[in-house]
Structure 1
Amino acid sequence: MKKILVVDNNKVVVRLLATILRQKGFLVASAEDGLAALDLLDSFRPDIMLIDLIMPRINGEKLCRIIRKMPEYDSLFIIIISAIAAEEKIDFFEFGADACIAKGPAKRMEENLTTVLDFFQNERKDELTKKIFGEENIFERQITKELLATKRHLEATLDNLDVGLLELNAAGQVISVNAAALQLFQCQEEKFLANQFSLFFQGEEENQIKKILATLDSEIVELGESAPVFLHGKFLLLKFVPFFDRGEKYIIVMVSDITRRKKAELDLLSHKEHLEDMVQERTATLEETNVELEEALCKVKTLSGLLPICANCKKIRDDKGYWNQIEMFIRDHSFAEFSHGICPDCVKTLYPELDIYEDDD
């Protein structure tokens, strides 16, 4: 029994297609979006997949690209079930699909699905062209055209930002990523989507990101400013922004390359440390020089050895042959200073008429 996996977020469409396929003898499983489909492939290996294009959490085009990168699904037959066939030209061959059926009246859809499945069962899928089965029965809708145009403009804006942007589900799996993020992480989109964001890091950084994702509630959290996050030779700043949509939590991760700023800060810090080392070294050198000068000065001003002195006037001869007053010589060759006075013996000799120092009777 052939297995078919129907991937569509519209429950009515899923029930309709599942009923038709079971009546034709297929074993049918379903998934509500691209992420759920990839998870289901671990336990359910289909022969055919019916994939809607417009879905949350990995759309149909990206799901096809991911699957076509899996060698085990080389022979998988992929049918696009499109609700926008009238509003947008779909090159489903380009992203790996084999056929495309426009969503429309249930009876027409069943007829077109039967036709396409006949090509597969009769091993004639190579005869399928880029024809969109059922497009003649649908009409353009203005609101759909406007929404698709808005979507294209938004995607162009996101892919031309310098900041990397990723969207994660509550479990931390990547469900969308822009071009800047792919460049920063050096990874193809097909290998990025549906994987755990934390697995793109290693060691302590991986553990920190796991903890942030597990505890993130309503507050924005940054990582990489004080404790650097280093990946592929770049310093990264990660900002985790939680938001809620229809009761489900999602996380926008903004990734900025702050390598130039961080290197400038490190260079500035290194220069500052170098200057501080130079100041300390110079200070130590000056202190050593001061000590040496003080020691030399002490040696210079220490009187020692034989001093020639006049026996009469008491002048001293210096090294250059000049005779100096004894107090001048001592002052110049020591740390001593003189204050002049007169001793009692000299008073008696010089001033005998004064009785200042006579002994009391």
Structure 2
Amino acid sequence: MTKKLLAVDDDPVVLRYIDRVFSEKGYKVVTAEDGLAALDVLKTYTPDVILVDMVMPNIDGKKLCKILRGMKKLKEIYLIALSATAVEEDIKSSDLGVDAFIAKGPYEEMTQHILAAIEQPEVFSSRCKSGEVIGIENLYPRRITKELLYVKKHLEGVIDKISEGILELGPKGRVLYANPAALSIIALPEEKLLGRDFAELFPAPHRRKIVELLMALDKGTGTIGEESPMMLNARLLTMDIVPVEKSGQRAVVILKDVTERKIQEETLQASEARLGRLIDKNADAIMIVAPDGVVRFANPSAERLFGASSHELAGKKLGFPLPTGESSEIELIDAEGNAVVAEMRAVAMEWEGEKAYLASLRDITERKQMEAELRKANRKILEQQDKVIEEERLKVLLQMAGATAHELNQPLTVLLGNIDLLSLRTEEPQKFSRYMEELKGAGKRVASVIKRIQTIPQYDTALHPEHEPDANMGRDITVLFVEESDNDFEKMRGIFNEIEKISLSRARSIESAASILEHDRIDLLMTDYLLPDGNALDLLRLLHEEDKATPVIVITDKGNEMIASRVIQAGAHDYLTKELVSKETVSRCLTRAMEKARLKKEAMLAQEMMAEMATRDQLTGLYNRRYFMEMLERELAKARRYATGLTLCMVDLDRFKNVNDSYGHSAGDSVLSGIGGMLNEGARESDFACRYGGEEFVIILPSTDLEGARNVCERLRKSVEEALFEYDTMRIRITISIGMTEYSPSDDSSLSDLIKMADDALYQAKREGRNRVVGLRIDD
């Protein structure tokens, strides 16, 4: 069977010599003048032996060997490398994948080596693997060749390090060379890229454009710019095709990857559009104001607040100052002539290259009205408490003076009534005289009561009158009586048995009372002043330390008015002397003590409600932005003082606009509320989870470094990713991106530095594909 041989060499003399010699030996010989021509031959011809010269134009021998070894149909061929620069150039045959490496010396000697290698393939393959170059012993290095090879290698090294993709194209646009950057962009190994039609690498629409540019190279450089980049392997590319011959048969292609820049531009444009939508849809009036107070821009909410269009507002002066930093309250008249209270904040900024201020005005009229109503309610409570205290004080004074309210009310009624009669009966002397006598008697009785009141020391306080309605609170009341004496307790139990909806339990000491209060619901506590392990003041002190608001009535001995005053000052709601204990007095004490406790609780709830409104976000239940800024400033100061770490995390819902657009804002609110719940559940006691605004949240992690914070944030990110938010019949999935930054005691970062760095980290998480956690340090 005739053996087939392919000889690849750019020297026609060598090719004719090999063709003649091997044809005489019975070989079928085919020749190719360079690597590109060889690849064309191999499309229809499969040889048994291939001879490849190392130094050739177009595709050189080294690259051609790698291409040949990558072709499946040529796996078993015998590949021989021929090199005229083997002495000057250090080539490793193992890198080429050849079976024999022969130096190009005298033709006859070279031919003998080739024939020997073909006849003894295993012997020569073994010598090749050991790095031996056959026939090199009679050759000597040439200085000029060595210098030229050095220059070539240096230039290739420079081109290999260029960040742009560089390709050389031969006739018909076939790839002859590609630097590493080009191989990375095109995503093909060199052996599979060389020799291919460059235009065929691209999708059809771009392919047509490239062909047009290649055909017009005789007219100069062809360019595909950033305004309409090409798409290849999910990358956006610009291209310059530079002719290197006047005929346009050869060209250099410069590829530049502009994907990241285009994504940044699109992201910036999307952010600007999103910011514009947020400003347009923001319930707050937002305005851009020049330093001289002239309005440059106004959003729709500002148009509604001022009753004028943005065009009408532009160019007009605000008419009030813009203090920067702290918020301030201003009064305005809206478009309908109503007085409006607005909370205003202003920050310095640049607008169209000039200094300006961003002013945000929030209508807080309803809040101010609510605060006024709460203050009014609070004043009313305090007035009621004052009235109760004054009433109690008068009753105490009357009782301690040995009088009753009736003793004072009855003569006062007589005085006032007779004065009215005198004004009507001045013409009847007898009746006038009688009325005067009654006036004198009533006056003496009032004077007597007042005289007795005036003799009471100022420190004496409340005992209670004997005639008031029984206690009936509308539900069963549990009373704990702290009393060591069995006789006193039995007497009190007998009284309580006659009062409806009252259950009485007993404790003998402060310690046992504290245990019962810890485990049982007690509505009211009655206690003797003297107890085995202390006194009523000790018990009141314990209740105060444990923050228990249970109303307390103290039972004292007769004449212990000083003790009564002290227990009232210590927090007791009422007191009663033992000698006056009866169903009526106990009922009245219970009623007054419970009423005082109720009023106090309502006042505290009102205050808590106001505090809650000032610090909590209504939708999510998390802390609001104002409270976040206060807490971040406080925690940052603490971290500086005690040289501890602190991590700030900024959380943003990915593509949350799609939720609102697809399911409606109510569904979006439901998702926000659910995220708030997950943040609240995942937070430690020392952490602060807050709603920063819109779909953004922030978490302050005191005494936590970046790695610890990453664990917390990854758990949160994964929980949200796996969660299913349900609203009506809809099921919604969403992901979050988180940016983190760490305050280190070694730097002097400000509050705004931390927020900006966390925001930058969040932006990077978005840019890298969303649904991820990115951490940045201030000094990065």
TM-score category of the 2 structures, normalised to the smaller one: 0.7 to 0.9
Kept in 2, the 8 Å contact 1:220–1:239? The answer is yes
Kept in 2, the 8 Å contact 1:218–1:242? The answer is no
Matching residue of 2:256: 256
Range with greater deviation from structure 2 (32-41 or 211-220): 211-220
What is the alpha-carbon distance in structure 2 between the residues aligned to residue 42 and residue 225 of structure 1? 38
Range with greater deviation from structure 2 (219-228 or 61-70): 219-228
- Residue 17 of structure 1 deviates from its aligned partner by 1.2
Kept in 1, the 8 Å contact 2:69–2:97? The answer is yes
Kept in 1, the 8 Å contact 2:164–2:255? The answer is yes
What is the alpha-carbon distance in structure 2 between the residues aligned to residue 266 and residue 204 of structure 1? 23
- Residue 185 of structure 1 deviates from its aligned partner by 2.0
Matching residue of 1:180: 181
- Cα deviation 1:294-353 (Å, max 9, x = unaligned): 9957xxxxxxxxxxxxxxxxxxxxxxxxxxxxxxxxxxxxxxxxxxxxxxxxxxxxxxxx
Instruction: Report SS of the residue matched to 1:42.
Output: coil
- Residue 66 of structure 1 deviates from its aligned partner by 0.7
Q: Given residue 262 of structure 1, which amino acid in structure 2 is its aligned partner?
A: K
Consecutive unaligned residues of structure 1, counting only runs of 5 or more, are 298-361
Kept in 2, the 8 Å contact 1:174–1:195? The answer is yes
What is the alpha-carbon distance in structure 1 between the residues aligned to residue 168 and residue 301 of structure 2? 59
Kept in 1, the 8 Å contact 2:100–2:125? The answer is no
Matching residue of 1:217: 218
Q: Given residue 263 of structure 2, which amino acid in structure 1 is its aligned partner?
A: K
Equivalent residue runs for 1:1-361 within 5 Å: 1-120=2-121, 126-129=125-128, 130-244=131-245, 249-274=249-274, 290=307, 296=336
Range with greater deviation from structure 2 (269-278 or 179-188): 269-278
Instruction: Work out the percentage of aligned pairs sharing the same amino acid.
Output: 35
Matching residue of 1:330: none
Instruction: Report SS of the residue matched to 1:135.
Output: coil
What is the alpha-carbon distance in structure 2 between the residues aligned to residue 16 and residue 295 of structure 1? 102
What is the alpha-carbon distance in structure 2 between the residues aligned to residue 78 and residue 248 of structure 1? 34
Normalized per residue, which structure has more helix? 2
What is the alpha-carbon distance in structure 2 between the residues aligned to residue 192 and residue 234 of structure 1? 18
What is the total number of aligned residue pairs between the two structures?
295
Pairwise CA RMSD: 2.6
What is the alpha-carbon distance in structure 1 between the residues aligned to residue 335 and residue 256 of structure 2? 61
Q: Given residue 13 of structure 2, which amino acid in structure 1 is its aligned partner?
A: V
Change (3 A) 1:283 1:34: same
Kept in 2, the 8 Å contact 1:51–1:79? The answer is yes
Matching residue of 2:773: none
- Residue 90 of structure 1 deviates from its aligned partner by 2.3
What is the alpha-carbon distance in structure 1 between the residues aligned to residue 136 and residue 145 of structure 2? 15
Greater RCO structure (CA 8 Å; 6+ sep): 1
Kept in 2, the 8 Å contact 1:119–1:128? The answer is no
Instruction: Report SS of the residue matched to 1:107.
Output: helix
Change (3 A) 1:126 1:296: closer
What is the alpha-carbon distance in structure 1 between the residues aligned to residue 100 and residue 49 of structure 2? 11
Change (3 A) 1:287 1:26: same
What is the alpha-carbon distance in structure 2 between the residues aligned to residue 237 and residue 248 of structure 1? 20
Bigger radius of gyration, 1 or 2? 2
What is the alpha-carbon distance in structure 2 between the residues aligned to residue 93 and residue 17 of structure 1? 25
Matching residue of 1:321: none
Q: Given residue 144 of structure 2, which amino acid in structure 1 is its aligned partner?
A: I
What is the alpha-carbon distance in structure 2 between the residues aligned to residue 254 and residue 248 of structure 1? 16
What is the alpha-carbon distance in structure 2 between the residues aligned to residue 295 and residue 255 of structure 1? 60
Matching residue of 1:327: none
Q: Given residue 134 of structure 1, which amino acid in structure 2 is its aligned partner?
A: G
- Residue 127 of structure 1 deviates from its aligned partner by 4.1
What is the alpha-carbon distance in structure 2 between the residues aligned to residue 276 and residue 170 of structure 1? 53
- Residue 218 of structure 1 deviates from its aligned partner by 3.8
Kept in 2, the 8 Å contact 1:165–1:178? The answer is yes
What is the alpha-carbon distance in structure 1 between the residues aligned to residue 91 and residue 299 of structure 2? 76
